[in-house]
Amino acid sequence: MAAFQLAALFLALVAVVAWLNAKWMRLPPGAAMFMAGLIGASALTTVEHLATGASFARPFIVAMNRLDFADTVVGQMLAFLLFSGAMQVDLSELRRTRGAVWSLATLGVIASTGVVGIGAWAIAGKLGLPLTLPWALVFGALISPTDPVAVIATVRRGRLSPRIVAILQGEALLNDAVGIMVFLAALAFAVQGEAHSFGAVGRVMLSGAGGFLFGLATAYMVVQAMRRVKGAEVKAILSLALAMGVYAGAQALGLSGPMASVAAGFLVGGAVEGPMASAATRAQLRSLWGLIDELLNAVLFLIMGLEVMVLPFEPRFAGLAAAVIPLVLVVRLAIVAPWGAYYHLRESDPGATQLLAWGGLRGGLSLALALGTPEGPQRAALISLTYAVVAFSVVVQGLSFGPLADKLRQAPATET
């Protein structure tokens, strides 16, 4: 199946599921797409298994086998998704909650990596499964960052204070970039040993800081260019070029593309919502990036569901996966509890701890990182554990977060 045909197929499937969901199911779009992918994958696998000869399921399975999920997410979609997500953040609230956002996105990711990694390694040892400590830390690194795509889509469906929205969104955007850097350092430790991991830590820190500054500088120039033209369409084109160019440019310079995209999105979003932007410009950019965000989110979650039919799962890791899910949730709760207690007691934000803990969803980036690990005996374990956590996060947490927020909070609905 050619690339264009595959893209057309995915778009058609997204349109059908989106229509069915809007008409009857009315579920969170990400969860609806993911479950549709799972159901479709199960049906196609069943047909292929029962067929005695060639079946209509074979082209779909071949196409999914050829799809490079890791490259699709990290190499292509992430530039747009991070830029779009950063544009939606309320910068005034982000500044007020910067202590929580930065500590959760940095120290929180590092602490979670260590605790989840050691916990998974200890549980695997009790079960007699081959997961060494270095590779368990790789799992801890790839599963610790919350996913901005899943988080931003989820926080729209509950009654949340602007403060909690800003923390969840800001943390997810920044810890995505931080998580990739921690993952690369952990991977260097697992593959090359301790001596190489320290050099990797230094390199990824410089890469992250450089990427953030590169994104700010590039976005500043583009914003100045936007202010010198009147056409809203031209400004929309400039924003598209920036989203693609800043990610690709940062990577070409050896800097963090995700950090560059987040920084650029923050700056452009602030400019668009500021007094210098016209109503036409604001409407044009909101419409453009709203559509891009919805479409790419839908495609990503659908592919995540369909991936189940081609991933190298091994049944022996089912028990470990069942134990790792609560481990990840408990570690998340412990990490956010101090900030949750602070906002509950000092800022009268009821249910802050529960919302910060349950709103820390995992998604496509974690799966992409797991699929990007090298071939070896550890790869099946990493993919099995990651997919289990992501599936639980998207379906269970994603479906229940809105009702939980409505139950815990008394404030009026906040638009994000």
**pLDDT score recorded for residue 413:** 41
Is the separation of the CB atoms in 243 and 264 below 8 Å?
yes
Strands annotated E in 267-375: none
| Confidence band of 411 (pLDDT split at 50, 70, 90) | very low
| Confidence band of 186 (pLDDT split at 50, 70, 90) | confident
**pLDDT score recorded for residue 244:** 93
Is the separation of the CB atoms in 232 and 280 below 8 Å?
yes
What are the pLDDT digits (tens) for 244-275?
999 999 999 988 888 899 999 999 988 887 76
Other residues' Cβ atoms within 10 Å of the Cβ of residue 146: 31
Q: Is the pLDDT of residue 56 over 70?
A: no
d(CA 356, CA 168): 7
Give CA angle at 143 (374, 14), nearest 5°: 90
What are the pLDDT digits (tens) for 197-244?
556 666 777 888 899 999 999 999 999 998 888 878 888 899 999 999
d(CA 182, CA 222): 30
Q: Is the pLDDT of residue 49 over 80?
A: no
What are the pLDDT digits (tens) for 358-395?
988 888 889 888 988 888 888 888 999 999 999 999 99
d(CA 265, CA 101): 16
**pLDDT score recorded for residue 48:** 73
Q: Among residues 224, 265, 217, 216, which one has the least CA distance to residue 89? A: 265
What are the pLDDT digits (tens) for 279-292?
888 888 888 888 88
Q: Is the pLDDT of residue 416 over 60?
A: no
Token readout for 66 is: 């050829």
* Domains annotated on the chain, with CATH: 3-66 (no CATH), 69-408 (1.20.1530.20)
Q: pTM for this structure? A: 0.87
Mean of pLDDT over the chain: 84
